[in-house]
Structure 1
Amino acid sequence: MRFAEAVERIERATSFGELGGDGEATYRAYAKAVHPDAVSDDRTAIATHAFATLSRLYHQRNQRVITGDIADLAAGENGTLTKVPRSPADNDLMEAEADALKILRDKGDPQYRPYAPKLIETYLHEDAERKRRRINVQERLVGFVPLTAVAKKRDPRDTAWIWRRLLVGLGWAHRAGVIHGAVLEEHVLIHPEQHGLALVDWCYSGASVKAIVARQRDAYPPEVLNEKTASPATDIHMATSLMVRLSEDLPKPLRRFADGCLYDAPRMRPQDAWRLLHELDETLHNLYGPRKFRPFTI
């Protein structure tokens, strides 16, 4: 294989499989062609970069984590998660996610940053067919699982911490000027042992709705489906609906609290997640007394 051809293929590939195989023989063939020790001095810099890219692709070949709504995610050895859209038509959604995470990093209160993954890098990649994709590289959240992993409904006392942390994370985002837009089971990660929570997949963020998760259509409030708009009240509606789905037999005070967040008209719902958190805390205290740590297992 010629040097120039090998470099071009490596630089365009988003996965090791695109190089024509997924085994060691393929790796050795490309490594032989682009190894810095095997080229002239004027090609050393190009070869070094290509060889590093080849090594990264090879080590990530069996580390696919999950297939998301619009993208495939693969874990890197350095604690990263690389998100690659399956279709270039979804580049705008990937850009929306990158923009949202940048705003949260730059304008959000730093003490709440664990409520969203850290954006490490975002760039355009052109594949062998000259299709360009927006790729987002994020921090991987170790020990976290999506709420889809919760197999059955739980006692409201066991889910109260998730409800509270959802409102904290949403309030933080809203104060920074970011709307999540898709507060669904698959987009809410929890750390069961530490009672941690993070909101992921910010591709649907923004006041103007570009897309929805079609299979979860029934989970969206009317303004999203009818007017293609979203606001903090949208996130509050979706978070409340999610917690109702997760919790078993809500006591009447919690049911009334939830109902007040689920009106069809956004203007009739609470608009401030942090203020709503205080109301939730009062409701929980009146029902169960002082907060106590309750172990949560999947």
Structure 2
Amino acid sequence: MTTAEAIALVTTARTPDDLFGGDFPHRAYRRLARLLHPDLAPGAEAAEAFSRLARLWAARDGASASKGAPKGASERAKETVITTRRGTYRIGGVFRRGASAVLYESGPDTLLKLPRSHADNDLMRREAESLETIARDGDPLLLPYVPRVVESFRHRSGGIERQANVLSRVPDGFLSLEEVRRRRPVLDVRDAAWIWRRLLVVVGAAHRAGVAHGAVFGHHVLVHPLDHGLVLVDWSQSVPLGTPITALVARHRDDYPAGVLARRPATPATDIHLATRCVAALMGDRVPAPVRNFVRGSLLSPPNDAWRLLGELDDLLDDLYGPRKYRPLHL
């Protein structure tokens, strides 16, 4: 994002949610503040946008407080320090709350992930093991598609011991596919295509390392609309290929292929099916017949090789649209 784009975004925002309504409000604010800060972006337009950004952020905090949500300042007041054999982490406010775990601010480049219940310690261990396996056995060129485990350790607080994961923070500017759908309910096939291609790359890389993600859903897929980056997060439901997926995301039960619900061993086709459903939801119903047929085939009989499907997808896109061209995803 450029300074001019940031000025336009802030100037046209009507409510705080227009700027900070996604999964990562603090990150959105920090990115815009850096682009518009008077020391870095001189000029009357940038200064006015910076002031408006501050007012909208303050209004968001006020709205959160009125709803009983913790304000950023009060969360920072609760900051604690955790020192391990490998590092020291200043644990600040809540970054994001999930169904089974909470992400906390822990540094400029990291987040601390703790399960809500110690009964889910195994999910944290599973995530750390899978990401370490991918880092060790996967293609180094594809590692930016997944978070990095900085450290995994046991943390005792209030008499309860929980498994903690310190994970690399996804760079600023990324949005979940749920947020993309909130802003633009239907995407052009060409915009959805690069997301699909990158999803196939990341699950294909994991499969080559022997890991199935097991929960490729919109809130776990983060994309950068302008840079076309993608990161697949939350590997706590992942399993080694050939073993059943035992931790299911309840609200997505109907999205899983029948084999998962029957506790059959996970295969590459499991992730490919889920990734296809993710992308199909972005495109809606008004798509060219060849694409619609390709999606249907990928759902009914997904291959066991993401790279093969990627090649077939590229052939289809070439036939329909010719050589690929960069298309910024404007939200």
TM-score bucket of the superposed structures, by smaller chain? 0.7 to 0.9
Contact map agreement 2:142 2:205 (CA 8 A) in 1:
yes
Question: Cα distance, 1:100 vs. partner?
Answer: 0.4
1:251 aligned residue (275, 283, 288) = 288
Q: 1:88 and 2:125 equivalent?
A: no
**Which residues of 2 match residues 2-151 of structure 1 at below 5 A?**
56-57=90-91, 60=92, 62=93, 64-129=94-159, 131-143=160-172, 144-150=174-180, 151=182
Asked if 2 retains the 8 angstrom alpha-carbon contact of 1:81 and 1:137, the reply is yes
Query: Alignment partner of 1:198: what SS?
Result: strand
SS of alignment partner, residue 223 of structure 2: strand
Native 8 Å contact 1:75 1:140 kept in 2: no
Displacement after TM superposition at 1:203 (Å): 0.6
- Give the deviation of 1:74 after TM superposition: 1.2
1:200, 1:22 → 2: CA distance?
A: 24
**Pair 1:214 & 2:214 matched:** no
User: Could you tell me which residue of structure 1 aligns to residue 210 of structure 2?
Assistant: 177
> What residue ranges of structure 2 are gaps of 5+ in the alignment?
1-69
C-alpha distance in 1 between matches for 2:170 and 2:143 = 12
The structure, 1 or 2, with the larger RCO (C-alpha pairs under 8 Å, 6+ apart) is 1
Measured in 1, the distance between the counterparts of 2:168 and 2:317 equals 33
Counterpart residue identity of residue 197, structure 1: L
Structure 1 residue aligned with 2:194: 161
Cα–Cα, structure 1 residues 79 and 93, in superposed 2: closer, same or farther, change >3 Å?
A: same
CA contact (8 A) 2:246 2:263 kept: no
- 1:22: how far off? 6.2
Q: Give the partner amino acid of 2:90.
A: R
Instruction: Kindly indicate whether the alpha-carbon contact (under 8 Å) linking 1:208 and 1:228 is maintained by their aligned counterparts in 2.
Output: yes
Query: Structure 1 counterpart of 2:308, which letter?
Result: R
Give TM-score, length-normalised by structure 1. 0.78
Q: Percent identity, aligned pairs only? A: 47
Secondary structure at the counterpart of residue 260 of structure 1: helix
- The 3-state SS of whatever aligns with 2:141 is helix
What count of residue pairs does the alignment treat as equivalent? Answer: 248
Which position in structure 1 is the counterpart of 2:311? Answer: 278
Distance 2:119 2:265 in 1: 21
Q: TM-score, normalised by structure 2?
A: 0.70
**CA-CA distance at 1:227 after TM superposition:** 2.3
| Alpha-carbon distance in 2 for matches of 1:252, 1:215 | 30
Name the amino acid aligned to 2:178: T
1:261 is the counterpart of 2:298:
yes
Residue 148 of structure 1: CA displacement?
A: 0.8
Q: Which residue of 2 aligns with 1:10?
A: none
Residue 238 (structure 1) aligned to one of 266, 269, 274: 274
Q: What's the CA shift for 1:228?
A: 4.9
Distance 1:23 1:110 in 2: 36
What are the superposed Cα offsets for residues 141-166 of structure 1, whole Å, 9 maximum, x if unpaired? Answer: 02211111012111111111001101
| Alpha carbons 1:210, 1:228 under 8 Å: kept | no
Give the SS at the match of 1:83.
strand
Q: Which amino acid aligns with 2:171?
A: V
Cα distance in 1, alignment partners of residues 202 and 218 from structure 2? 15
